[in-house]
Structure 1
Amino acid sequence: MYFDGAARKDDAGAGVVFVTPQNHLMSYAYMLTQLYTNNMAEYQALILDLQMAIEDVRDLDIYGDSKLVINQVLDEYGVKKEDLIPYHQRAMQLLNQLDSIKIGHVLRSANKLADTLVNLAATFVLRAEESMQVLVCNRWGVSLLEREEILDTTNMIYVYTANEDDWRQPIIDFLDHKNYPTIPGTG
């Protein structure tokens, strides 16, 4: 499970990506309806994700890009901020319901999908009782065959024959046949 949370001036979001043993992805995004700090949003993402996971999963590998949250859950950092204590306690209660857990910190670059989901969720404007399903597909607007046809036409050569009175004709003659233009009066 990869999780991420983010808070901004007027909105907050949480995202999770579950990777099954068969490498199938299940991704979820949540618009958080209250204003949070970034650390609160990270905890909120972890808690929401754990609540979903404990229904069906007993063994879970958990990855997040918040060093603070990961290290607090691992008891390597103490929880000093009063407003984070309830979040930490709830996360620990949920973690204790799992049989086996592995928790690790990942760089933001390794958590891109969860981060993208957070940003997507934070941009929606929904009332508390509303939800929205968004299907994201991986498709090209132009198929490979169509692209090849387009590329084939881009290498076409167009031939233009200039009239002898056309000022461009001497330039064309020089480029095509290395014929130097005659200067009037020089014979």
Structure 2
Amino acid sequence: MARKHGGREEEERYKPRNSVKGQVLADFIAEFSPRATSITCVVEVRPWRVFVDGASNVAGAGVGIVVITPEDLKLEHSFRLGFRASNNEAEYEALLAGLRVVMDLGARKVEVYSDSFLVVSQVQGNFEANDPRMIEYLRLAKQMMGNFETVKIERIARRQNRHTDSLATLASSIVDEVPRLIRVKLVPEPSIAAKALILQVTEAKRY
């Protein structure tokens, strides 16, 4: 049926009630039906947290590491250094050992926490390394950090790193013949030694 309105002819169309309901249902299905286009879900991946500390005393040197996985699982490691090391060298060994552990576990995003002002400052680029051994340690640390997608290193207060410090002290003063519940591994030579450098370069090429 048609009628005139404002000098123009408008056509009114009437649809049966069932036809209107059918169209509403069709529109609803079309709106919520899966489309061919893909949907990308962005999942936030939490980083691995690594707390490291090195200790050096008259009895020897050791490294303590506490790794917290993205699932909040805590892993503890102690490494006894089988060579004489200064406190700064032990701190670098702690950083390198921590990076090796999480690299072996497949971590891609890492946050490292250390109470060593010198190590953190040199890695962050705030201080230059002048000592030849510190230069080698810094070079190796940055090389290993390149194996990860992201690595952030931060300095924390010693009181926030007490547990890791205890593991490092344990490893530095342990006697081989005394059984321990915590497994303490041996680092036989400095990480910047020739053999260790060759090993690290080989590992870096695999990733």
**Which secondary structure does the structure 2 equivalent of 1:98 belong to?**
coil
CA apart distance, 1:70: 0.5
1:71 matched to 2:121: yes
Alpha-carbon distance in structure 2 between the residues aligned to 1:18 and 1:118: 14
Alpha-carbon distance in structure 1 between the residues aligned to 2:142 and 2:61: 22
Contact 1:10 1:35 in 2 (8 A): no
1:59 matched to 2:109: yes
Query: C-alpha offsets along residues 166-185 of structure 1, whole Å, 9 cap, x if unaligned?
Result: xxxxxxxxxxxxxxxxxxxx
AA aligned opposite 1:96:
G
CA apart distance, 1:135: 4.1
Contact 1:71 1:77 in 2 (8 A): yes
CA apart distance, 1:78: 0.3
Contact 1:3 1:64 in 2 (8 A): yes
Structure 1, unpaired ranges of 5+: 137-187
Counterpart of 1:24?
A: 73
Counterpart of 2:140?
A: 90
Contact 2:55 2:168 in 1 (8 A): yes
Counterpart of 2:83?
A: 34
**Which secondary structure does the structure 2 equivalent of 1:97 belong to?**
coil
Contact 2:59 2:173 in 1 (8 A): no
Alpha-carbon distance in structure 2 between the residues aligned to 1:69 and 1:103: 10
CA apart distance, 1:22: 2.2
Query: C-alpha offsets along residues 42-74 of structure 1, whole Å, 9 cap, x if unaligned?
Result: 001111111121121000010000010001011
CA apart distance, 1:39: 0.2
- Structure 1 runs of 4+ aligned residues shifted over 6 Å read none
Query: C-alpha offsets along residues 80-130 of structure 1, whole Å, 9 cap, x if unaligned?
Result: 112211111111110011101111000001111110100111121239xxx
Alpha-carbon distance in structure 1 between the residues aligned to 2:129 and 2:180: 35
Q: How many aligned residue pairs are there?
A: 133
Counterpart of 1:108?
A: 158
1:43 matched to 2:92: yes
Query: Could you tell me the percent identity over the aligned residues?
Result: 30
Counterpart of 1:119?
A: 169
**Which secondary structure does the structure 1 equivalent of 2:65 belong to?**
strand
**Which secondary structure does the structure 1 equivalent of 2:134 belong to?**
helix
Structure 2, unpaired ranges of 5+: 1-49, 184-207
**Which secondary structure does the structure 2 equivalent of 1:35 belong to?**
coil
**Which secondary structure does the structure 1 equivalent of 2:175 belong to?**
coil
Alpha-carbon distance in structure 1 between the residues aligned to 2:128 and 2:152: 19
Contact 2:64 2:164 in 1 (8 A): yes
**Which secondary structure does the structure 1 equivalent of 2:127 belong to?**
coil
**Which secondary structure does the structure 1 equivalent of 2:169 belong to?**
helix
